[in-house]
Structure 1
Amino acid sequence: MSPAGCPHVGGWKADGWRQNLRLIYRCFVWSGSAETRTRKAKSCVCHACGAHLSRLHSCLSCVFFACFAKKHIHEHARSKRHHLAVDLLYGGIYCFLCQDYVYDKEMEQIAKEEQKKAWKMQGVGEKFSSWEPSKREVELLRHNPKRRRITTNCTIGLRGLINLGNTCFMNCIVQALTHTPLLRDFFLSDRHKCEMASSSCLVCEMSQLFQEFYSGRRSPHVPFRLLHLVWTHARHLAGYEQQDAHEFLIAALDVLHRHCRDDDGKRTSNPNHCTCIIDQIFTGGLQSDVTCQVCHGVSTTIDPFWDISLDLPGSSTPFWPLSPGGEVSVLNGEGHGGGATTLTDCLRRFTRPEHLGSSAKIKCSGCHSYQESTKQLTMKKLPVVACFHLKRFEHSAKLRRKISTYVSFPLELDMTPFMASSKEKRMNGQHQQSADAFCSDNRYSLFAVVNHQGTLESGHYTTFIRQHKDQWFKCDDAVITKASLKEVLDSEGYLLFYHKQLLEYE
């Protein structure tokens, strides 16, 4: 595409050109409503050969559709001297005099506005949703394979990422972030107001990345600008060596958080008082209760978190004995068949009381002296997206290895047993006996799983992502393939992303 613009566009513009261009984009490029999709499926045929399958362009000077690959649109331009046409697949403007796709600021703005309207109509901004075509559309689309993706199996948002040299650690996290519903809604609605140079703002680059993912293009995207910004703002990740996907996730969230603005238009570095989109989605509150063993006084602190790192059996850190079955496991749809460790087991271990011992005495505010104590972690505030990091890579002075222990994780997860409020109820003798007693507000649905294959020294990252309500796809850099739910739940699991089923609004 020519970045300098086209001198022939100005000669084409006349009274009413904006409305005419909007109609082309609305009805034949980014068609969003049932009416315009029907019109598109019915009308978009080459007027020269009647083909649907060839790459069609629409003349900007008259009502004429024709193939680009078969040169029918070229013949029309030459005979009629109509030198501008719109690519009906990607929306680009082609000039037959320049012999290239050209850029015009006004026309680009119109195209973007109509694209956003179409996305809104298609339900891109709704949680795990898809829109369904009418019966009339189904009949028309059945005869046009090029448009069959406009169904409940719509694959918009699925796009591979080119590996730029051991960058699978970045690609797998990008896939998880671009399929995070609320983050997707934020970026596709252009709500980011940048105060930095766009060339150095990671939020601007992520916004552009979302536009690329949801543009409808299927060719793999090359995330070279994202990689450059990561190297610039997180220098410990620079270079072509393989990096840790979890480390990249935290670094990316940190930079995005620093480059975002909160609702008051002020940039903040305090996660406790930030309302930027990153903290709205990913930040939870972890409560730490330290109890004196002498006076039983409790000291409580609450710290923000973006993810929860969980120890696994097989690590050098002792993993407490597991009890088969149990109320919590049943609630979360997990069993202990064959003694398999579950995600619930890991969370129960994470939130169990821990005796700190004589070597870690604290000064008790009640006793006014150093005493032994116990410490217990619980969830004070749950994030919209809960990310669980299974600690598979063990690094110590004597040991560097990968822990491949299989951990069973559920499709739906109830976090109520691990809440600070549940602990208080148990201490007050209010025991919950059944799943019905648990609050549905704390239920989550799995939507992305990052896996690592190989060893600590040589490995590869892939991601399973959830499309709509019940479809799963495996993202392996540039290659995306359909996956079954069994493949997802049987995978080893390194990072597990869960989305809250019910959202709270203030």
Structure 2
Amino acid sequence: MKKQVCRSNKSPWVCLTCSSVHCGRYVNGHAKKHYEDAQIPLTNHKKTEKQEKVQHTVCMDCSSYSTYCYRCDDFVVNDTKLGLVQKVREHLQNLENSAFTADRHRKRKLLENSSLNSKLLKVNGSTTALCATGLRNLGNTCFMNAILQSLSNIQQFCCYFKELPAVELRNGKTAGRRTYHTRSQGDNNVSLVEEFRKTLCALWQGSQTAFSPESLFYVVWKIMPNFRGYQQQDAHEFMRYLLDHLHLELQGGFNGVSRSVILQENSGLSASNKCCINGASTVVTAIFGGILQNEVNCLICGTESRKFDPFLDCLRSFTDLEELDETELYMCHKCKKKQKSTKKFWIQKLPKVLCLHLKRFHWTAYLRNKVDTYVEFPLRGLDMKCYLLEPENSGPESCLYDLAAVVVHHGSGVGSGHYTAYATHEGRWFHFNDSTVTLTDEETVVKAKAYILFYVERQAKSGSDKL
């Protein structure tokens, strides 16, 4: 294969007409330009019938092997009658496999001899190689990649799934064990928990630079219709759907065995840490679940109404006192009619992992615009004590949180742009940009225009640690 025009080695796409390799639209866009140039009419020479058919419309991602048609402006899931697309995939994979061993050896030698390489770090006098793995973009799936990388760095949550046994499906095969497939295949026998588990296991093995979450994305398409297609999606909405469906599957179990039982056996989470949402507790509610107290006061007679609601993340200014307007009159049981009232939220129980979603998008008449204002956030010691209903009952460090991950949206609109994530792992900060993972520092992290912040509850020091 020959490479023309583009010198970048990021996001390579091969034209299935002429085998030219160019970079994708999120690098320099040379693959798309190659297609557009091929559509320019020939003025100096008369077109032959063969030239009219050669339009360079279809290309293939050399990393994920997904196929894209520029004329349709969409990914292609079908193949030719002779299975030519699959043959190209197998050829590319054979090339990758044959070069993998030699390339891995060359890179290892290079890393060993390069003291300036960013993938080496001095830890306690010894050299440690970077073991983080990127996630390949399957077609505007950066929203999913950013959330998966963030969750993979929430240790208690991630370790629970990695320690789960592999699920055997009813056909006797491990869930999602397929290399290539079309999204239209009629396989309802899928497990989100199993594919999530396998993805988390792959991310910190250090055996590859990038992992393709193809099987997980297939399951997402099956059970979350909102995320079908290759258009850009909202990362926070995806996170909520993902956690909800993980919670529901863990409640129901697989092969008739509820994984709520495994939660009690393996996770080390006490019953007091569990917040039940929609039935039995799971690791999702045990870690992300808290309890809000919704307090409404009648402005006429002073009657107070309290309601407790579970929550999975803190959004906006929940704890501000709010006077309800005329369209939200409260039915006062003492006055026996709807009255003006005030509403205030208190946090009755904090979650182990606090998810803060910044409202970066707002609707105008026809568009959803982005709020690009920088919001300062602490890396350590976020104190939530002043938002608690009963702060006097909390321990000295039980309300302190340290930052674990940040999801950032780059661009101007919710339906466009790009998502990346910052996360800390074993004391080091990483920047996750799809397939690319780089070491970074705290100064860079705090300058990010955060969209979602993941804070982890600080563990109280034991008596032996205080001596």
Q: What TM-score range do you get, normalising by the shorter chain? A: 0.5 to 0.7
Distance (Å, rounded) in 2 between the aligned partners of 1:150 and 1:204: 35
Partner of 1:356: 324
Q: Offset of 1:265 from its aligned partner? A: 7.2
Gaps of 5+ in 2: 1-97, 99-111, 177-189, 252-258, 264-274, 462-467
User: Which of 189, 209, 215 is matched with 2:199 structurally?
Assistant: 209
Distance of aligned partners of 1:273 and 1:193 in 2 relative to their CA distance in 1, 3 Å threshold: farther
User: Which of 160, 164, 179 is matched with 2:153 structurally?
Assistant: 179
User: Which of 201, 206, 224 is matched with 1:234 structurally?
Assistant: 224
Structure 2 residue 395 is the aligned partner of structure 1 residue 389:
no
Is the partner of 1:169 in helix, strand or coil? helix
Partner of 1:9: none
Q: Offset of 1:356 from its aligned partner? A: 0.5
Partner of 2:424: 466
Partner of 2:233: 243
Is the partner of 1:482 in helix, strand or coil? strand
- Among the aligned pairs, what percent are the same residue? 34
Q: Which runs of 4+ in 1 moved over 6 A?
A: 142-145, 147-150, 192-197
User: Which of 431, 446, 451 is matched with 2:403 structurally?
Assistant: 446
Partner of 2:390: 421
Distance (Å, rounded) in 1 between the aligned partners of 2:200 and 2:286: 18
1:453–1:461 Cα contact (<8 Å) kept: yes
Structure 2 residue 465 is the aligned partner of structure 1 residue 491:
no
Is the partner of 1:303 in helix, strand or coil? strand
2:276–2:310 Cα contact (<8 Å) kept: no
Cα deviation 1:9-46 (Å, max 9, x = unaligned)? xxxxxxxxxxxxxxxxxxxxxxxxxxxxxxxxxxxxxx
Gaps of 5+ in 1: 1-98, 100-141, 311-348, 431-436
Distance (Å, rounded) in 1 between the aligned partners of 2:225 and 2:324: 36
Partner of 1:280: 286
Partner of 1:255: 245
Q: Offset of 1:184 from its aligned partner? A: 1.9
Distance (Å, rounded) in 2 between the aligned partners of 1:144 and 1:354: 59
TM-score, length basis structure 2: 0.61
2:120–2:130 Cα contact (<8 Å) kept: no
Structure 2 residue 458 is the aligned partner of structure 1 residue 501:
yes
Distance (Å, rounded) in 2 between the aligned partners of 1:196 and 1:382: 39
Distance (Å, rounded) in 2 between the aligned partners of 1:417 and 1:196: 51
Cα deviation 1:170-201 (Å, max 9, x = unaligned)? 10001001111111221232267778773411
Q: How does 1:91-240 map to 2 (within 5 A)?
A: 151=123, 154=128, 158-190=132-164, 198-199=175-176, 200-240=190-230
More helix by share: 1
User: Which of 339, 363, 376 is matched with 1:371 structurally?
Assistant: 339
Distance (Å, rounded) in 1 between the aligned partners of 2:200 and 2:365: 41
Distance (Å, rounded) in 2 between the aligned partners of 1:156 and 1:186: 23
Partner of 2:77: none
Distance (Å, rounded) in 2 between the aligned partners of 1:405 and 1:193: 45
Cα deviation 1:233-292 (Å, max 9, x = unaligned)? 1111110111111111111111111111353479xx971543211111111112110011
Distance of aligned partners of 1:156 and 1:420 in 2 relative to their CA distance in 1, 3 Å threshold: farther
TM-score, length basis structure 1: 0.56
Q: Offset of 1:228 from its aligned partner? A: 0.8
Cα deviation 1:286-332 (Å, max 9, x = unaligned)? 2110011122221111111112222xxxxxxxxxxxxxxxxxxxxxx
Q: Offset of 1:386 from its aligned partner? A: 0.7
2:297–2:303 Cα contact (<8 Å) kept: yes
2:276–2:285 Cα contact (<8 Å) kept: no
Aligned residues: 314
Q: Offset of 1:371 from its aligned partner? A: 1.4
Distance (Å, rounded) in 2 between the aligned partners of 1:380 and 1:194: 40
Q: Offset of 1:357 from its aligned partner? A: 2.8
